[in-house]
Structure 1
Amino acid sequence: MTENDALRVLSLYEGFFSGGARVLHSSVVAGLHSLGRQRHSVLSIHDEVRRESTLQRMTDDRRFRELRAAGVRITSLGRSTERDDPETFSEAELTVVARQVAGSQVVLSLKEQPLRLLDQPGIPERPVVACLHRSDPGRQGTALSHLLTAAHAGRLAAVVCCATSTRDAYRAAGVPAHLLHVVPNGVDLTRFRPLTRPRRLGLRGVHRLPADGTVVTYAARYDPMKAPELFVAAARRFLARDPRAHVVMCGAGMTSENPGLRADLHQAFADRPDLLARVRTLGVRHDMEKILAASDVVALTSTFGEAAPLCLIEGAMCGAVPVTTAVGDAARIVDGVGLVTTFEPDQIADAWVEAAARRDELGRAMVSARPRFSHVRMLSSYAGVVERARRGTGLTLASP
């Protein structure tokens, strides 16, 4: 197949910033582009975004660099959340959008928010595939209305849901059932894998972590959905029980510059600075596979909105036991390889202790589960959705 024969696919992004949905979608775009049957490009509304008390620039983002390295063309409207009205677009911006859409045969929307671009005057109609990664459509502002508008206008060819909880929530919100298609998340198993003991100990040394202590890693952005204050409260109890344990916090806003996190840490550790000394706040990382491979437990304390949290899969594939609250499809993801806990800090801390004690046992289960989480299966499913959207054959509701 020549480049001219490849299916032309345009992805719409709000921007390049930290988050599992962007990681997942970018890996799909890069993977499908490299296979040659589809030629992918990306249009980003913003080139810088302030989120979680962090200004995140497109060109600094790992996903941006990986897509460029894969040969994916990326353009931007050059917007900033610091200065631009999210609902109003200039004629010049709409000209760029119209040109990009006209050059494509299928449009993918990373989440439903960018669909507002397609409602603007003068934008050519193309089959649209919305790629959804949350389970709370009611909390997404006006985004749901844009999704429903696209569905009722006949522009929406398919909705890819990363979890059954996503499918069920959007079906209940009014998205036609025949459009909804579940494609479970997967990761690159050559990148996310356990390390030998010497390499693991070497990584712990780099990050000033003990060779023989339990390390719990929290990989999340600072957002109410992720309940960072709940994680910090559980960390206080966990560290008080085990004098050799350490906690690592990674993600946008997980730094001392974030006043929200500073307040959470102060509330939990004001009377115990010795415990706080065993909390590492590393912020946005571009080497999460190394951080997770050096950890014993990967923790999630979210209270709403999650669908198929990527951190649980990445952690498990690196040998860190996933421990999660029961949100979205999280319990389904960790079934047999991790633990599900309540929303009580003491019980969360207990679960981390249990997970660390069972790491060898659960480690064998995590190795056996690796094929279930391969991104190869995921790429094949996405490719089929996109190709059927172009042919207009439609999709039927997939079983989980």
Structure 2
Amino acid sequence: MLSVYEGFFSGGARIVHSDVLLGLVEGGQQWHRVLSVHGEVHREATTQRMEDDACYRALTAGGIDVTSLGRSAGLVDGTVAASVFSGPELADTARAMAGADVILSLKEQPLALLNQAGLPRRPVVVCLHRSDPENQGQALDELKAAIADGTVVACVCCAESTRDAYEAAGIPGELLHVIPNGVDLLRFRPDAALRLAFRESLGIPAGAPVVVFAARYAGMKNVPLFLRAARAWLAREGGGHVVVCGAGMTEDNPALWADIEVAFGADRAVLGDRVHLLGVRHDMETVYAGSDVVALTSASGEAAPLCLIEGMMCGAVPVTTDVGDSASIVEGHGFVTPFDPEAIAFAWSAAVADRELFAPALAASRERFSRTRMIAAYADLLAHVVGDVRDGLRPGVSGQ
């Protein structure tokens, strides 16, 4: 198998896909490698090099070969940086494809490369991780072209909302297979020692209520709404703390500081010392274990937000806006709010107060969000595709 990434940068889709690849090679039944179009990207006010990325390091440590075409670009949400490729780039791509039975495309953006004329014909499975195909620019057109050409034989949707949105956008329903996101339950679990250590590292008292917002600095994440809710909640919860992490969520991002100034106004001097900007973290199990609430305020694009699942599995109560599959993910485990900062702040307080009441439901849901279940479903789908290839048939898979 060859997976093609647009690039290595912070985000749930890359985390999930990389974890799937590691799980698929663990049993020794499949061989995987990765080709990244970009070796470096600049987005969310952060330059992110492939070699520095946690997913890259995990893949290479797991024995998966990762190479890059070496491009360096500033990517913009929903667009392909460039769809014109040089001869050497196409030659490198052809060599990478030659040894693969099946190509996995992480989201539809890499199809701008895979649709280039002259490359080896291999069946492509596209892994879709958003619920807004209409906002993906020319990538949706590339997906439709690859389907019409017979190259794309299946699409893995991480959520029901993804399947519904892409079918509504014109993708044939028989190609869309839902495999919900899962996480490593050995890593993401309640841990009293991690909880205490995380709080001590930030100077947060052991008994203080903590809300975590794990998101990159992007329009779809609705950061201004989160900050307005944070101001309202911190004013109400005198001992509360807010933890913010993700690409661009640092003091070095002037756009974030501008948002904070607008949201907090004159209260920034009084409340700002209880807002912790942590940037990209590679120990999210520690961050979630140290928190009481995991918050999501996204306005669009989300499908099955990884932050909600990881946070829940660590014992944090999820509070989310109704976007993608978020409402179904947190049903019975937390709260769904309108896009109103006061309502969100009230829900955070309710989540803190009811945290112990939610604990049994969160514990009982762990199997549903298991990485093992997710990887088994991917393995089954890919086995169907590979079996058809080796039988000389046009690849096709049964419904999931």
- What TM-score, normalized to structure 2? 0.95
Pairing 1:47–2:12 present: no
Equivalent pairs counted in the alignment come to 389
Counterpart of 1:240 in structure 2: which amino acid? A
Pairing 1:266–2:261 present: yes
Residue equivalent to 2:3: 11
Residue equivalent to 2:221: 226
Residue equivalent to 2:396: 394
What's the secondary structure of 1:113's corresponding residue?
coil
The 1:79–1:278 alpha-carbon spacing in structure 2 relative to 1, beyond 3 Å, is same
Q: 1:68 aligns with which of 56, 60, 74?
A: 60
Task: Tell me how far apart the structure 1 counterparts of residues 230 and 330 of structure 2 sit (CA, whole Å).
Answer: 21
Map 1:229-378; keep pairs closer than 5 Å: 229-272=224-267, 273-378=269-374
Task: Tell me how far apart the structure 1 counterparts of residues 172 and 163 of structure 2 sit (CA, whole Å).
Answer: 10
What's the secondary structure of 1:308's corresponding residue?
coil
Counterpart of 1:211 in structure 2: which amino acid? A
Bigger Cα displacement from structure 2, 198-207 vs 248-257: 198-207
Task: Tell me how far apart the structure 2 counterparts of residues 391 and 126 of structure 1 sit (CA, whole Å).
Answer: 13
Q: 2:149 aligns with which of 125, 147, 153?
A: 153
Residue equivalent to 2:392: none
Counterpart of 1:206 in structure 2: which amino acid? S
Q: 2:24 aligns with which of 32, 40, 43?
A: 32
The alpha-carbon deviation at position 143 of structure 1 amounts to 0.3
What's the secondary structure of 2:153's corresponding residue?
strand
Counterpart of 2:136 in structure 1: which amino acid? Q
The alpha-carbon deviation at position 75 of structure 1 amounts to 0.5
Q: Map Cα deviations across residues 344-370 of structure 1 (whole Å, 9 max, x no partner).
A: 000000000000101001111111111
Q: Map Cα deviations across residues 101-142 of structure 1 (whole Å, 9 max, x no partner).
A: 111100000000001111112111101000000000000010
User: Is the CA contact (8 Å cut-off) linking 1:179 and 1:396 kept in structure 2?
Assistant: no
Bigger Cα displacement from structure 2, 77-86 vs 237-246: 77-86
- What TM-score, normalized to structure 1? 0.95
User: Is the CA contact (8 Å cut-off) linking 1:232 and 1:268 kept in structure 2?
Assistant: yes
User: Is the CA contact (8 Å cut-off) linking 1:181 and 1:395 kept in structure 2?
Assistant: no
What's the secondary structure of 1:101's corresponding residue?
helix
Pairing 1:165–2:187 present: no
Residue equivalent to 1:202: 197
User: Is the CA contact (8 Å cut-off) linking 1:11 and 1:42 kept in structure 2?
Assistant: yes
Task: Tell me how far apart the structure 2 counterparts of residues 54 and 82 of structure 1 sit (CA, whole Å).
Answer: 10
User: Is the CA contact (8 Å cut-off) linking 1:177 and 1:397 kept in structure 2?
Assistant: no
The alpha-carbon deviation at position 35 of structure 1 amounts to 1.6
User: Is the CA contact (8 Å cut-off) linking 1:180 and 1:395 kept in structure 2?
Assistant: no
Task: Tell me how far apart the structure 2 counterparts of residues 228 and 268 of structure 1 sit (CA, whole Å).
Answer: 10
User: Is the CA contact (8 Å cut-off) linking 1:237 and 1:345 kept in structure 2?
Assistant: yes
Counterpart of 1:20 in structure 2: which amino acid? G
User: Is the CA contact (8 Å cut-off) linking 1:42 and 1:73 kept in structure 2?
Assistant: yes
Counterpart of 2:321 in structure 1: which amino acid? T
Counterpart of 2:211 in structure 1: which amino acid? V
Counterpart of 2:123 in structure 1: which amino acid? P
Counterpart of 2:232 in structure 1: which amino acid? R
Task: Tell me how far apart the structure 2 counterparts of residues 85 and 346 of structure 1 sit (CA, whole Å).
Answer: 39
The alpha-carbon deviation at position 199 of structure 1 amounts to 4.0
User: Is the CA contact (8 Å cut-off) linking 2:131 and 2:161 kept in structure 1?
Assistant: yes
| Unmatched 5+ stretches in structure 1 | 1-8
Q: 1:102 aligns with which of 95, 98, 101?
A: 98
Counterpart of 1:353 in structure 2: which amino acid? S
Q: CA RMSD in A?
A: 1.3
Pairing 1:184–2:180 present: yes
Counterpart of 1:26 in structure 2: which amino acid? S
| Unmatched 5+ stretches in structure 2 | 389-394
Pairing 1:78–2:80 present: no
Counterpart of 1:192 in structure 2: which amino acid? F
The alpha-carbon deviation at position 82 of structure 1 amounts to 4.8
Q: Map Cα deviations across residues 53-79 of structure 1 (whole Å, 9 max, x no partner).
A: 000000000000000011000010011
Q: 1:21 aligns with which of 3, 8, 13?
A: 13
Task: Tell me how far apart the structure 1 counterparts of residues 228 and 397 of structure 2 sit (CA, whole Å).
Answer: 45
Counterpart of 2:25 in structure 1: which amino acid? H
Counterpart of 1:133 in structure 2: which amino acid? H
User: Is the CA contact (8 Å cut-off) linking 2:198 and 2:286 kept in structure 1?
Assistant: yes
User: Is the CA contact (8 Å cut-off) linking 2:288 and 2:316 kept in structure 1?
Assistant: yes
